């Protein structure tokens, strides 16, 4: 198996640099200092997906466009793989691999580099983040994976991915949303900004709010206001009745000897029991 002294010397040897530039150098045949690579051609059936690939959604239209290009011109840039017990695992180039399959190819040019699991996990995340290919939910799942498996704090992870601790924390919070809402973020129906205020909404009430946000395409600020109103519904003020209505209310209370309330176009008359109700009815119906 090829030796990779730069990447094999520890994660700190690659982080802080531009991961994509490093990977592009390798894939374009410009072997970085301290890196030994091996060029080959592999059967697509021998290549397994990257187990740490954070991206779950691939644009089918763009894959088709890439497949058409591959049919006409072939695969210019080799995929990056590592040797495993049986076959190879992708490090970079999953779109090219998928497009090559769509194009009907059986083989693909590849470069073998020796990455360990920790390097695979972090490189996969960083490559996609730096290329901005991840949805907010995919990014959140990748962060959680690194925290769970590498034991990073949010502060440490933020430094690894060149993001603030607040960005990492806010992104991770999206995973507390119901699956239905997460899927809306993944498919682009909701933005992360629209979804984030919904995190604090009771799950039993969230569907109604989400439907309104999507239907009206509310801005993140308006979603915040919607959630605020949901949590603190405005107090309904008792309508102010006119002076004439107030006078009629007093007259009715005096005549019927019970509490009477005029509210808009409605009159409410209170009674204590059946006998009191009969008394009030007789008073109202009396011709005297």
Residues annotated as catalytic are 94
Which residue from 142, 140, 149, 112 is spatially nearest to 127, judged by alpha carbons?
142
Cα(19)–Cα(206) distance, integer angstroms: 39
- Please name the residues in contact with 165: beta carbons below 8 A apart, sequence gap of 6 or more: 154, 155, 158
Which pairing describes strands 38-43 and 107-112: parallel, antiparallel, or unpaired? antiparallel
- Consecutive H or E run containing 122: helix 117-131
DSSP-derived letter for residue 181 is: H
Which pairing describes strands 88-92 and 79-83: parallel, antiparallel, or unpaired? antiparallel
Which pairing describes strands 47-48 and 88-92: parallel, antiparallel, or unpaired? parallel
Place of tokens 């699956």: 179
The answer to whether 191 and 224 have CB atoms below 8 angstroms apart is no
Lookup: tokens for 244: 């004439």
């Amino acid at each position: 198996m090829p030796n990779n002294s730069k990447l094999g010397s520890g994660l700190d040897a690659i982080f802080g640099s531009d991961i994509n530039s490093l990977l592009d150098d390798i894939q374009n045949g410009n072997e970085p200092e301290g890196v030994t690579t091996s060029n080959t051609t592999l059967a697509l059936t021998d290549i397994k997906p990257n187990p740490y690939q954070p991206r779950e959604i691939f644009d089918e239209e763009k894959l088709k466009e890439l497949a058409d290009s591959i049919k006409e011109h072939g695969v210019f840039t080799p995929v990056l793989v590592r040797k495993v017990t049986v076959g190879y695992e992708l490090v970079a180039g999953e779109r090219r691999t998928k497009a090559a399959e769509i194009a009907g190819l059986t083989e693909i040019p590849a470069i073998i580099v020796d990455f360990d699991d920790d390097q695979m996990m972090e490189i996969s995340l960083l490559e996609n983040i730096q290329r901005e290919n991840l949805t907010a939910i995919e990014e959140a799942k990748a962060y959680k994976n690194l925290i769970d498996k590498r034991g990073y704090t949010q502060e440490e992870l933020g430094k690894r991915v060149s993001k603030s601790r607040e960005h990492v924390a806010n992104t991770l919070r999206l995973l507390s949303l119901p699956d239905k809402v997460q899927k809306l973020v993944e498919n682009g129906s909701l933005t992360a900004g629209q979804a984030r205020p919904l995190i604090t909404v009771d799950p039993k009430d969230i569907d109604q709010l989400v439907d309104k946000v999507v239907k009206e395409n509310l801005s993140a600020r308006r979603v915040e206001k919607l959630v605020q109103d949901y949590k603190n519904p405005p107090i309904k003020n008792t309508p102010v009745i006119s002076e004439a209505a107030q006078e009629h209310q007093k007259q009715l209370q005096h005549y019927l000897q019970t509490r009477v309330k005029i509210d808009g176009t409605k009159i409410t008359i209170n009674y204590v029991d059946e006998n009191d109700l009969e008394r009030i009815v007789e008073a109202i119906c009396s011709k005297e």
